[in-house]
Homo-oligomer: A and B are copies of this chain.
Amino acid sequence: MEAEQLHVAGVERLEAGITVVRGIRASGVHAGLKKKRRDLTLIVSDVPAVAVGTFTTNQVKAAPVLVTQERVRGEGKGRARAIVCNSGNANACTGPQGEADARAMAAAVARGLGIAEDEVLVASTGVIGLHMDMDKVRAGIEAALRELSTSREAAAAAAEGIMTTDTVPKEVAVRFRIHGYECRLAGIAKGSGMIHPNMATMLAFLVTDCAVAREELDRAWREVVGKTFNQVSVDGDTSTNDMALLLANGLAGNPPLAAGDPELAVFKEVLEYGARELARLIARDGEGASRLVEVQVEGAGSDEDARRIARSIVRSNLVKAAIFGEDANWGRIICAAGYAGVPFRPEGVDIYLGDVQVCRQGAALPFDEEAASEVLRRPEVRIRVVLAEGQGSGVAWGCDLTYDYVKINASYRT
């Protein structure tokens, strides 16, 4: 799987957590916002890091999104030392009090570390419309500060502290070389309801010790997020709290990657690998999901066209339900492609379930139903749609629609 995903020579997947990156300490504690599980995570860089981020496009932005967005994108900003994130309460639709609470979370971390408040980025996920229990949060931050460590356990605890309906923590770590210097990239993420990731916020925090100029890091991150996290969390369907942050602290010691550096391409590929692995983990762990669905679209007029069509297919409830039912219903696939808002000639469409071609030139094709159903029974279902419009290609990730999805979401609060 990884091998297939990773094309860069000399890049190695590590069985490690976020603390494998030089100068990164982390912790995850139980502050009491959730009944039992860890609900507060802290990630700290020993030195100031270049910070870039992408944020929800939702008209309704949670308080921590507003605070962090300003600290990452504001004039003369874009450097950070720490990320603090709680789960159990989204701190969204909480008015001025909510924004004060978000700032207070950052301030508490800043005090504990002896750094500037605006060097601390804050994120939240959980129920909308509840004010934060700041006594619990402050106590949790105290504990998280005490437990900061570079250990594998601390990294794992940090991955757990941001989970909501996730069933497993989501981590990635890789080692790679830039101009001969060994660099590390690692990250954690939390998942989302796989149909519309509204309330089930998507959060991703990646860190690297590779030195990269701010402008290049920002460009690379936007590009990578567009190909990975946004292909799970469809643009325009984003939650009030979605956030994907990337910190680069430069402790690998390499000369900072700047515009025109040929090895920027290597870094970008590594970054895309890390983000894609987290995106796939999120899709695989979709609420109630029993299968990961990967939709590959080729031959589109542009990469963006291909990505839009792939998203449209992967979010179609009828496609998702058919996969849950192991029903090779390719008609639903071409139909979902058809309403993606991208023009194409239906008579040019070929569709494959795994290796089984089920549609040729937009028309039915006799195929082995049993072989097709076998493909749909796999834990990872691959759908390939080939258009005759051009060279554009793109991938989207999702999961099947199950009884459990309904069960989970019929009573999220209660």
Contacts and interface: CB of A to CB of B under 8 A. Distances in A.
B409 A322 contact: yes
Interface string A117-135: 0000000000111110000
A330 interface: yes
B322 A410 contact: yes
Contacts of A198: 316, 318, 332, 335-336, 339
A122 to B, nearest CB: 19
Contact of A364 (B94, B238, B363): B94
B412 A329 contact: yes
A392 to B, nearest CB: 15
A256 interface: no
B411 A325 contact: yes
Given A129-B363, A199-B331, A338 B410 contact: no
A352 interface: no
Contacts of A129: 330-331, 359, 363-364
Given A195-B317, A335-B198, A405-B406, A93 B59 contact: no
Nearest to A319: B198
A54 to B, nearest CB: 15
A198 B325 CA distance: 17
A332 B240 CA distance: 10
A73 interface: no
Interface string A224-243: 00000000000011111000
A59 B196 contact: no
A409 B363 contact: no
Interface string A196-228: 101110000000000000000000000000000
Interface of A is mostly: loop
Interface in A301-336: 316-318, 321-322, 324-325, 327, 329-332, 334-336
A401 B411 contact: no
A347 interface: yes
Interface in A174-202: 193, 195-196, 198-200
Considering residues A238, A335, A405, which has the most beta carbons from chain B within 10 angstroms of its beta carbon?
A335
B336 A196 contact: yes
28 contacts: A58-B338, A58-B339, A60-B334, A60-B338, A61-B346, A92-B335, A93-B346, A93-B359, A95-B363, A196-B317, A196-B339, A198-B332, A199-B329, A199-B332, A237-B339, A240-B331, A240-B334, A317-B317, A317-B405, A317-B409, A318-B409, A321-B409, A322-B410, A324-B406, A327-B410, A329-B413, A401-B406, A403-B403
Interface of A: 57-61, 90, 92-95, 127-131, 193, 195-196, 198-200, 236-240, 316-318, 321-322, 324-325, 327, 329-332, 334-344, 346-347, 349, 359, 361-364, 401-403, 405-407, 409-414
